[in-house]
Amino acid sequence: MEQPCILVVDDEADLCRLVKTALHKEGLTNVETAGSVQMGWTLFERLAPDLAILDIMLPDGEGFDLCRRIREVSRIPILFLSARDEEVDKLLGLAIGGDDYVTKPFSPKEVAYRVKAQLRRAGIYAAESGQTADAKVEHAVTVGPFTINGDRTEVWKSSERLELTAKEVGLMACFMRNPNRILSKETLFRTVWGEDFYGADNTLMVHIRRLREKIEDTPSEPRHIVTVKGLGYRFQE
């Protein structure tokens, strides 16, 4: 399966390399870095990462601001790395949507372990198998031109393997188990994210849009993932 994507936003290049090396040693090799709020947001929109690590003090603003923007559209785990160790900063970071807060100087190995713990809680990473949670299906499933393999780690369209994130594979698995049926947004989110849907409309819509861009011939006129107004989505063969 495609590795979870991790975004590190910090203007200290040496620190970014340190964190990246620590993550690589733990088997997390899909790591992208940025040195500013704007670059971090640009990469977030392009990559749709599974987890973000944010510094607070950045050249063009604060990691708090980037966290707020991410939380408007996504519920991915967010960790703060900061030299600011005041309790008020930690409380603010958690209050605006952060999931963890680590103060500098820190142990790179500890950060890597905390990242793995957050990914496990999000259902993205299983320590022993390296696969997404609940990723066991007895047989491969084929619907129209699409096939998902038996352990729900890869999706193919005709003879081409699709480069999908863990959440996108989860959505495809849910759709392909229920072809031509209307699935509510609540059902999709609860199945793939394992959480209540309340307040997550933007998160689901962003993932559906990016999935359409990868599987549809004309994403603006989808033939496979069809919106059923007021009800949800239907996956058509």
Q: CA-CA distance, 21 to 29, in Å (whole number)? A: 9
Whether the predicted model's global pTM rises above the 0.85 cut: no
Q: In the CATH scheme, what is the homologous superfamily, with its name and number, of domain 6-121? A: Response regulator (3.40.50.2300)
Q: Is the distance from CB of 235 to CB of 143 less than 8 angstroms?
A: yes
What is the biggest distance separating any 2 CA atoms in the chain, rounded to whole angstroms?
A: 56
CATH 3.40.50.2300 placement within the chain:
6-121
- 154 residue type, one letter: E
**Alpha helices (H) in the chain, listed in sequence order:** 13-25, 37-47, 63-71, 87-95, 108-121, 166-177, 185-193, 201-215
**What size, in residues, is the chain?**
237
* Radius of gyration, alpha carbons of the chain: 18
Q: CA-CA distance, 8 to 19, in Å (whole number)? A: 8
Mapping DSSP onto H, E and C, the string for 177-188 reads HCCCCEECHHHH
Considering the segment(s) 141-235 as one domain, its CATH architecture is Orthogonal Bundle (1.10)
pLDDT confidence of residue 59: 96
Q: CA-CA distance, 223 to 149, in Å (whole number)? A: 22
Q: Is the distance from CB of 203 to CB of 195 less than 8 angstroms?
A: no
Strand order of the β-sheet with 225-228 is 182-183, 232-235, 225-228
pLDDT confidence of residue 196: 75
pLDDT confidence of residue 44: 93
pLDDT confidence of residue 123: 72
CATH 1.10.10.10 placement within the chain:
141-235
Q: Which two tokens stand for residue 23?
A: 């993550």
Residue 220 CB neighbours (<10 A): 7
Task: Walk along the chain (237 residues) and give the pLDDT tens digit of each residue.
Answer: 467 899 999 999 999 999 999 999 888 999 999 999 999 999 999 988 999 999 999 999 999 999 999 998 888 899 999 888 788 888 898 889 898 999 888 888 889 988 988 888 777 754 433 444 343 334 678 888 998 876 667 888 987 889 988 889 889 988 988 888 998 988 888 888 877 777 778 888 999 999 999 999 999 999 999 999 988 999 997
Q: Which two tokens stand for residue 63?
A: 């990691």
Q: Which two tokens stand for residue 25?
A: 């040693």
Q: Which two tokens stand for residue 204?
A: 């689901």
Q: CA-CA distance, 40 to 66, in Å (whole number)? A: 8
